[in-house]
């Protein structure tokens, strides 16, 4: 648990340290049986065992009772043993290091994998997981989810009378792709991102600018991408102003950033939707919400960029200036790209937060994924928990995928 | 870079920026005021103090602020109670424990708080065993649901802070402690913890600040906290500008208090630092 339990490093020079064991066990490997394992034959066994267990658990009626351990003790025990076996094979194949790893790491891995502590916690974890899985399967309301899945994904656009404009939803997919591309930090990918974001906006904007037709997950994705693009323009300006030598831009930027960060996003969205249309024109509630969310997000981005800029060695700035670049050129070409690359993990996390925060637009009556789930849940209170689990799973999938893709692209860049 | 002029450097760009910003915000404000005026609403900040039978709007807002602060305090307690063990589990040797804690953190960080809140209020509370549910229904269940949701959500972020705080203590510190003849327990107590805690306080403060702001989401399940009161003022009197100004000031105050607490914590946790 604490670092001091680890052995003191030997005086011999170590080869470049292998990544710690638990980092090598990716989330894919842990959660999705059979995927992302190091040893393919073990992963095949693990996958077959785990998936047959899953299917058996779902298809057996006696296991669908809402109280999992109350009846059928023998069946439960058998299930538990099977789960333990699957878990041992499945997790074990992830734990065993690759050939490239050091001998010491292999020994350590075998030691940890075979220790009683690990086995006992594994058993407890697995029995809890099985119970949880069975509780979830036994929930009422899965049929409601099935019936309303289309509504959750695209909102009112799924209605038959909207069939003519259904093809435009492909723009949401284009927008979804553009975000991780833009975060990759490579020029070619960023150009592609700009193209797909523009095309996606052109396709989907008619669905939201007038009467709101598109909703659900598609709307959440579009909102997040639009706010992300606007913040990407605003944030560098704010960051540059914040560290300016001149007091006026510095004070203005500080005021914007500090007030944005001290007030909940909910207040921003509500206030923007209520008051901004008086400035930008009536009937532009959607644009007002996007602007308000963008200023909020840009403030967080700007703080990250500022930290990155201030972390850069002074030599970068001085070298650029001595080559004859102007202050603006230095910022745009030399220091800002480096700061963005340095702060990429923070910016990525903030982008995921932005996607999650689109769930707040339900306050002003937009039908995003959360309000769609809420609307269905209000009609069928018994299915509420199932619907929310389903919506959470959709959010989780998208934001986790953004995170994974962004990380991978950053690593390669 | 003009070196030989009498005016201070960058006077004109700065002056025009200041004037431009002032003009733009003036225009925006007057547009808002005109827009509200055309709907028959005049800006009127006395609306907070005007007395009404059910209490003035200002008093209701203050009640809302107090409730927000209570929710923040309750959630903070729960978040620390859950988050610190989670963060330690996440830095454990045991791969199963570490994985479980990491999965929890990943789950919470990739799911919107609003969904978690709705699931707690409309899914978990009705599914609780009878007597507990009855007690909750009689004792403002939505506040308890908010605290549970906000606390368990924030716990994931607290866990991350704890993990990076523990991981941030240099190996050399531990080894030096052991070389000085301290026992393992003493190294933990005297060398590792003080440094880890000092490293945890600033990011922990910003986690708690975010949590206090997130408490505004409670309005979505009908908790009459600060944002709820502001929205209520807007919908009953259409004085949207005043309502938003009031809510903003309230949250600024709440954030300010948390900032002060964080600063005090920073000072207390680093007695070795000269100030």
pTM of this structure:
0.80
d(CA A161, CA A169): 15
Cβ pair A270:B116 closer than 8 A: no
**Among candidate residues A386, A354, A388, A355, the one with its CA nearest the CA of residue A371:** A388
Does pLDDT of B166 surpass 90? no
- Coil, strand, or helix at residue A368? strand
pLDDT band at B116 (very low <50, low <70, confident <90, very high): very high
Does pLDDT of A67 surpass 60? no
Residues of B in contact with A84 (CB under 8 A): none
d(CA A65, CA B52): 54
Under 8 Å CB-to-CB from A50, ≥6 apart: which residues?
A: A33, A34, A86, A90
Q: What are phi and psi of B86, to 5 degrees?
A: -60, -45
Cβ pair A246:B127 closer than 8 A: no
**Among candidate residues B210, B243, B179, the one with its CA nearest the CA of residue A264:** B210
Nearest CA in chain A to B253: A262
CB atoms within 10 A of CB A164: 7
pLDDT band at A70 (very low <50, low <70, confident <90, very high): very low
Residues of B in contact with A9 (CB under 8 A): 171
Structure confidence by residue, pLDDT tens digits, B35-88: 888 888 877 777 777 777 777 888 889 999 999 999 999 999 999 999 999 998
CB burial of B220-246 (b: ≥16 within 10 Å; e: otherwise) equals bbebbbbbbbbbbbbeeeebbbbbbbb
The token duo for A177 is 């792709």
- Interface A:B, Cβ pairs < 8 A: 190
pLDDT band at A1 (very low <50, low <70, confident <90, very high): very low
Question: Which residue among B28, B102, B119 sits closest to A385, beta carbon to beta carbon?
Answer: B119
Q: How far is B223 from chain A (nearest CA, A)?
A: 14
Residues of B in contact with A328 (CB under 8 A): none
Contact B226, B65 (CB under 8 A): yes
CB burial of A121-142 (b: ≥16 within 10 Å; e: otherwise) equals bbbebbbeebbebbeebebebb
State how far the alpha carbon of A159 is from the alpha carbons of A151, A156, A171, A220, A383, in Å. 8, 6, 18, 18, 22
**Among candidate residues A213, A136, A212, A200, the one with its CA nearest the CA of residue A173:** A200
CB atoms within 10 A of CB A299: 24
Q: How far is A74 from chain B (nearest CA, A)?
A: 26
Structure confidence by residue, pLDDT tens digits, A82-118: 666 666 656 655 554 444 456 676 676 667 666 777 7
d(CA A52, CA B42): 68
d(CA B94, CA B259): 36
Structure confidence by residue, pLDDT tens digits, A4-19: 444 444 444 444 444 4
Q: How far is A164 from chain B (nearest CA, A)?
A: 32
d(CA A314, CA A335): 10
CB atoms within 10 A of CB B253: 14
Name the packing angle between helices A187-209 and A285-311 (round to 10°): 160
d(CA A177, CA A170): 11
Give me the residue label for tokens 């510095």: A250
A contact residues 200-259, partner B, Cβ 8 Å cutoff: 245-249, 252, 259
Does pLDDT of A413 surpass 90? no
Give me the residue label for tokens 């007057």: B30
d(CA B203, CA A260): 18
Q: How far is A52 from chain B (nearest CA, A)?
A: 23
Residues of B in contact with A392 (CB under 8 A): 111-112, 115-116, 119
The token duo for B26 is 């003036």
Nearest CA in chain B to A113: B95
Cβ pair B248:A263 closer than 8 A: yes
Structure confidence by residue, pLDDT tens digits, A141-187: 788 888 888 888 888 887 777 777 778 888 888 888 887 777 666 77
Structure confidence by residue, pLDDT tens digits, A184-240: 667 787 888 888 888 888 888 888 877 778 888 989 999 999 999 999 899 999 999
CB burial of B160-172 (b: ≥16 within 10 Å; e: otherwise) equals bbbbbbbeebeee
Nearest CA in chain B to A275: B32
Nearest CA in chain A to B88: A1
- Looking at every residue in chain A, the average pLDDT score rounds to 77
Structure confidence by residue, pLDDT tens digits, A301-336: 999 999 888 888 888 888 888 888 888 888 888 888
Does pLDDT of A412 surpass 60? yes
A33: left (phi > 0), else alpha (psi -120 to 50), else beta?
Answer: beta
Residues of B in contact with A388 (CB under 8 A): 115, 118-119, 122-123
Contact B242, B43 (CB under 8 A): yes
**Among candidate residues B208, B251, B243, the one with its CA nearest the CA of residue A270:** B243
Cβ pair B213:A31 closer than 8 A: no
Strand ranges for B31-166 from DSSP E: none
Residues of A in contact with B114 (CB under 8 A): 359-360, 362, 370
């Amino acid at each position: 648990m604490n670092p001091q339990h680890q052995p003191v490093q030997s005086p011999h020079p170590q080869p470049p340290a292998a990544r710690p064991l638990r980092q090598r066990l990716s989330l894919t490997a842990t959660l999705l049986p059979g995927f992302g394992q190091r040893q393919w034959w073990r992963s095949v066994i693990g996958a077959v065992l785990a998936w047959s267990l899953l299917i058996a658990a779902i298809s057996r009626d006696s296991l669908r009772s809402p109280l999992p351990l109350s009846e059928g003790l023998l069946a439960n025990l058998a299930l538990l043993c099977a789960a333990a076996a699957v878990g041992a094979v499945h997790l074990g194949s992830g734990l065993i290091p690759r050939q490239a790893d050091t001998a010491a790491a292999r020994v350590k891995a075998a030691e940890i994998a075979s220790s009683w502590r690990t086995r006992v916690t594994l058993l407890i974890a697995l029995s809890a997981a099985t119970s949880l899985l069975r509780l979830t399967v036994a929930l009422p309301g899965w049929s409601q989810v099935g019936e309303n899945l289309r509504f959750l994904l695209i909102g009112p656009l799924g209605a038959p009378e909207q069939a003519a404009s259904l093809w435009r939803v492909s723009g949401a997919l284009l927008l979804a792709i553009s975000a991780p591309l833009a975060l990759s930090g490579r020029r070619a990918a960023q150009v592609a991102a700009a193209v797909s974001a523009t095309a996606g906006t052109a396709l989907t904007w008619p669905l939201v600018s007038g009467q709101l037709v598109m909703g659900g997950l598609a709307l959440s994705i579009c909102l997040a991408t639009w706010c992300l693009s606007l913040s990407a323009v605003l944030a560098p300006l704010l960051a540059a102003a914040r560290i300016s030598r001149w007091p006026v831009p510095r004070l203005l930027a500080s005021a914007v950033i500090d007030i944005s960060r001290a007030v909940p996003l909910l207040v921003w969205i509500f206030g923007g939707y209520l008051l901004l249309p008086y400035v930008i024109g009536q009937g532009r509630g959607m644009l007002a919400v996007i602007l308000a969310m963008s200023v909020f997000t840009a403030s967080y981005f700007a703080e990250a960029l500022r930290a990155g800029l201030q972390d850069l060695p002074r030599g970068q700035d001085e070298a650029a200036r001595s080559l004859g670049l102007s202050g603006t050129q230095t910022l745009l070409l030399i220091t800002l790209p480096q700061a963005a690359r340095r702060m990429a993990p923070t910016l990525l996390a903030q982008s995921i937060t932005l996607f999650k925060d689109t769930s707040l637009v339900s306050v002003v009556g937009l039908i995003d994924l959360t309000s769609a789930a809420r609307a269905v849940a209000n009609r069928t209170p018994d299915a509420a928990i199932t619907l929310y689990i389903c919506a959470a799973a959709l959010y989780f999938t998208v934001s986790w995928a953004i995170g994974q893709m962004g990380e991978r692209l950053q690593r390669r860049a | 870079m003009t070196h030989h002029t009498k005016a201070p450097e960058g006077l004109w760009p700065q002056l025009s920026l200041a004037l431009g910003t002032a003009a733009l915000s003036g225009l925006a404000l007057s547009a808002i005021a005109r827009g509200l005026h055309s709907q028959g609403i005049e800006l009127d900040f006395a609306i907070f103090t005007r007395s009404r039978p059910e209490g003035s709007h200002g008093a209701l807002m203050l009640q809302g602020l107090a409730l927000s602060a209570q929710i923040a305090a309750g959630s903070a307690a729960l978040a620390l109670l859950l988050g610190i063990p989670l963060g330690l589990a996440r830095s454990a040797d045991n791969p199963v424990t570490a994985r479980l804690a990491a999965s929890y953190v990943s789950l919470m960080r990739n799911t919107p708080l609003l969904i978690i809140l709705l699931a707690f209020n409309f899914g978990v509370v009705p599914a609780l065993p009878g007597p507990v549910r009855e007690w909750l229904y009689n004792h403002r269940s939505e506040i308890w649901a908010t605290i549970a949701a906000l606390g368990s959500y924030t716990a994931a972020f607290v866990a991350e802070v704890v993990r990076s705080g523990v991981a941030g203590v240099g190996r050399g510190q531990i080894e030096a402690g052991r070389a000085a003849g301290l026992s393992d327990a003493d190294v933990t107590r005297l060398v590792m913890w003080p440094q880890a805690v000092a490293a945890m306080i600033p990011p922990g403060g910003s986690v708690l600040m975010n949590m206090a702001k997130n408490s505004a989401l409670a309005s979505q399940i009908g908790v009459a906290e600060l944002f709820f009161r502001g929205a209520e003022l807007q919908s009953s009197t259409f004085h949207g500008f005043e309502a938003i100004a009031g809510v903003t000031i309230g949250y600024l105050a709440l954030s300010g208090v948390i900032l002060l607490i964080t600063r005090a914590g920073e000072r207390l946790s680093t007695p070795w630092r000269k100030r």
